[in-house]
Amino acid sequence: MSDSFFNHSKIQVLKGVRADFAVEVLLTERLHKLGVSPFTAYINTVIDIVGKEVESSRTLFEETLEWVESEGLPNYVQGINDIFKRRFSFDPKDKVIGLDLLDFERIVIDVVKALTTEPSINLAKRSIRSLSLDDVNAALARSVPDINFDEVYLTSVVVEDGERKVFKSRRLAEDLFESLQHNEIPYYHGANAGVYSVAHSLEEHHLHSQLTLQDVSYLVIEIVPDFLI
């Protein structure tokens, strides 16, 4: 599978999911390589250039989602808008390193155009229908019939004193089901998680032979539209 979600076929599949999830996926892909999280970096706007009084402060995710939902394109102004690691700050020491304002503007434009070009993504506030764990297992099995999903574990790690330790490990179906129960669509990504055939293992020979974390993310994107109402 291609590593990027910015290709025509994957964009079309993403459009079948919710706008909030699609924005998270596309924005994370562009920002992750810069070391920036869309949920912990903020675009702040001042109303007083001299006094630097901040009028609004939103995460990069909130900002991008609003532009997608309005189907508009940003036109930021240096000195009025900028990107910070703290809410409601315009202090230069709090500026995000590695992402400047114009680069973010280009990223937002790319995301908006990708999701609103006809056929546009459904912008309705769709919810997850009532589901059972068996429903999730069945959907995964239909998607990839030759994989035994009873032996697919999502394992996340933490680093303590320089050592990688298991933080959480459970079957994919169970993890996905729990998120869906809270009306959330999980996006599986990052260096601190992996797909294993044995629970609670970080041994390289226990990495799943057929699925990567990227593959799992795409599987979720494929099956979730059938769970939406």
Single-letter amino acid, residue 3: D
Residues 16-36 have pLDDT tens digits of: 999 999 999 999 999 999 999
Q: What is the DSSP letter of 193?
A: E
Whether the predicted pLDDT of 3 surpasses 90: no
Residues 93-149 have pLDDT tens digits of: 999 999 999 999 999 999 999 999 999 999 999 999 999 999 999 999 999 999 999
Q: What is the pLDDT of residue 51?
A: 78
CB 149 within 8 Å of CB 188: no
CB 163 within 8 Å of CB 119: no
**For residue 44, which phi and psi values (nearest 5 degrees)?**
-110, 145
**Annotated domain spans of the chain:** 8-116, 133-227
Q: What is the DSSP letter of 207?
A: B
Residue 63: burial class (beta carbons within 10 Å; 0-12, 13-18, 19+): buried
Instruction: Give the residue-averaged pLDDT of 163-187.
Output: 97
Whether the predicted pLDDT of 157 surpasses 60: yes
Rounded CA separation 106/176 (Å): 32
Q: What is the pLDDT of residue 2?
A: 53
Residues 43-84 have pLDDT tens digits of: 999 998 787 899 999 999 999 999 999 999 999 999 999 999
Beta bridge partners of 42: 59, 84
Whether the predicted pLDDT of 1 surpasses 90: no
Instruction: Give the residue-averaged pLDDT of 150-168.
Output: 95
